[in-house]
Amino acid sequence: MKIPFYAEFLFFYAEYNNMGANSYEKPDFWSKKAFSEGYPARSVYKLKEMNEKFSLLKKNSTVLDLGSAPGSWTVFLLRNLGENGKVVSCDLNPLAKDVHGQNLVFIQGDLNESSVREKIKSEGPFDTVVCDAAPLTCGNRTVDTARSEQLVEMALYYAKTMLKKGGNFAVKIFQNGDQQKFLKAMREIFQTAKGFKPEACRSESFETYLVGICKK
């Protein structure tokens, strides 16, 4: 799969992408829980729920975390993979200052750049690839959804080329896009592929996730 280059994209957590004069600025149950448990953002509970439902992660495995800043998914992975596990975390933006670990490799850069892809490839292959990247949003749902789909294409490239046989995959996508098109493509790569919206997603959010289990 050829990766298109999208110079305008920055990779952020969803918490930062839809902020404005709305409830995204207000701490909710999940935000408060994340703070109390030492996670940079509430998004960690989406990964936690997907792992509980689909068993995405294996102890002492190697995981690629795409679009990882500020680092909640990275922290969760570090806490759950075991001392022999490894997390390769990648984003245009730096991780939060308190996100660190002996088994953490952080690569900062554009995930569409060939030099960044080569650095990531040198740390693999991977047992699991996860991606919570989201584009900068403009408020136009059609445009925002199209940008989200381009990020899914990028994440699928990494899953297709750097994920081990039997490996698992999860990626965020904005609803009302081409979820079925991506699921069809994922079923060519994985034994099982399905959509899933974790409870920790904000009620007003139109994000959901695509999950691929057991790469062929």
Q: Which residues are catalytic?
A: 172
Q: Rounded to whole angstroms, how far apart are CA atoms 93 and 116?
A: 14
Residue of 124, 126, 108, 118 whose CA lies nearest to 63: 126
Scanning the chain, the segments in alpha helix (DSSP H) are 14-17, 29-36, 44-54, 72-80, 114-123, 141-162, 179-187
Token pair of 215 as six digits = 């790469």
Per-residue b/e over 171-206, b at no fewer than 16 CB within 10 Å?
A: bbbbeebebeebbebbeebbeebeeeebebbbeebb
Query: Which DSSP category does 134 fall into?
Result: B
Residue 39: φ, ψ to 5°: -105, 145
The residue whose two tokens read 């062929």 is 216
Query: What single letter denotes the amino acid at residue 127?
Result: D
Structure tokens at 118: 């080569």
List the structure tokens of 103: 């088994």
